Amino acid sequence: MTYYGTYCRLNLHVSASNMEVIRATRRKLSAKAMTREYRKARHDIYRIMLKHHADAQTLVREYRL
């Protein structure tokens, strides 16, 4: 799996904190996605992003050793 595109679009580095990933993701969501009606879907997106972020951090940590 490639993480380059995700971090490029979010303008982040793999060493970014989880909160920075969530903030960057929120900036990419539409106004409609930020409504209460889409709260569960939005939180699912955050969980997926944080899972990919943790995987990317693990990959980088192992590569650098």
pTM of the entire predicted model: 0.84
52 and 20 in contact (C-beta within 8 Å)?
no
pLDDT, tens digit (0-9, with 9 covering 90-100), for 43-53:
999 999 999 99
- Whole-angstrom distance, CA of residue 1 vs CA of residue 51: 13
Tokens of 51: 């899972």
pLDDT, tens digit (0-9, with 9 covering 90-100), for 7-63:
888 899 999 999 999 999 999 999 999 999 999 999 999 999 999 999 999 998 998
